């Protein structure tokens, strides 16, 4: 799609990577990690929708075009998400095992400088935003999150 849209000078493509939201969509990263049987030691850029969606009106108002990495600053470790859930988890939650893969996967950290410049706003840090979301989970939400069934 990016290849196709590069010929148009009036489009904006927001490149989303591993979406995270406080509404715990079952397809979101936090819900998936909580239900996996195993988790690899991976760090990657993520899109915390609660942080970044409010930037869209500024991008539209400024008539920004092109392709932007629509991710938070820094990376998020899958292991840290599991640890944060573990601290608040209900009794009986089966924590995923950590895989020690022979070929450790490198971190994928996308540059957010263009997003910050285009929106005129600071881009929040990924790990801090996800910790904030997990800290805000109620006991009821955590029980639904940590069950093997869908959210």
Could you give the CA distance from residue 22 to residue 129 in angstroms, rounded to a whole number? Answer: 10
**Coil vs helix vs strand at 25:** coil
Specify whether the CB–CB gap between 12 and 64 falls below 8 A.
yes
Q: How far is CA 149 from CA 5, 37, 38, 71, 92, in A?
A: 39, 13, 16, 29, 14
For residue 10, give the DSSP letter. Answer: S
**pLDDT given for residue 150 in this prediction:** 42
DSSP string, 42-103: -EE--EEHHHHGGGHHHHHHTT--EEEE---BS-EEHHHHHHHHHHHPPTT--PPEEE--SS
**pLDDT given for residue 42 in this prediction:** 85
Q: 86-94 long-range contacts, Cβ below 8 Å, gap at least 24?
A: 88/134, 88/135, 88/137, 88/142, 89/142, 89/146, 90/139, 90/142, 90/143, 90/146, 93/34, 93/146, 94/148
CATH 3.40.50.720 fits 2-146, yes or no: yes
Domain ranges of the chain: 2-146
27 against 127, higher pLDDT: 127
Which pLDDT band, with edges at 50, 70 and 90, does 1 fall under? confident
**pLDDT given for residue 151 in this prediction:** 39
**For 81-105, how does the pLDDT look when each residue is reduced to its tens digit (9 = 90+)?**
888 888 877 666 676 677 766 455 6
Beta-carbon contacts of 21 under 8 Å, excluding residues fewer than 6 positions away, are 28, 48, 49, 50, 133
Mean pLDDT, the chain, rounded, equals: 84
**For 96-151, how does the pLDDT look when each residue is reduced to its tens digit (9 = 90+)?**
677 766 455 667 899 999 999 999 999 999 999 999 999 988 877 777 766 654 43
Highest mean pLDDT among 5-9, 45-49, 99-103: 45-49
């Amino acid at each position: 799609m990016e290849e196709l849209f590069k010929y148009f000078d009036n489009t904006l493509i927001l490149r989303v990577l591993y979406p995270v939201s406080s509404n715990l969509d079952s397809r979101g990263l936090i819900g998936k990690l909580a239900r996996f049987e195993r988790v690899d030691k991976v760090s990657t850029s993520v899109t915390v929708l609660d942080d970044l969606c409010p930037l869209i009106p500024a991008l539209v108002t400024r008539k920004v075009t092109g392709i932007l990495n629509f991710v938070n600053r820094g990376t998020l470790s899958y292991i840290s998400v599991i640890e944060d859930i573990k601290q608040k988890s209900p009794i009986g939650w089966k924590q995923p095992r950590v895989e020690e893969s022979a070929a450790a996967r490198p971190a994928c950290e996308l540059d957010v400088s263009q997003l910050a410049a285009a929106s005129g706003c600071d881009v929040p840090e990924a790990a801090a935003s996800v910790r904030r979301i997990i800290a805000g989970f109620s006991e009821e939400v955590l029980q639904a999150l940590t069950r093997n069934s869908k959210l």
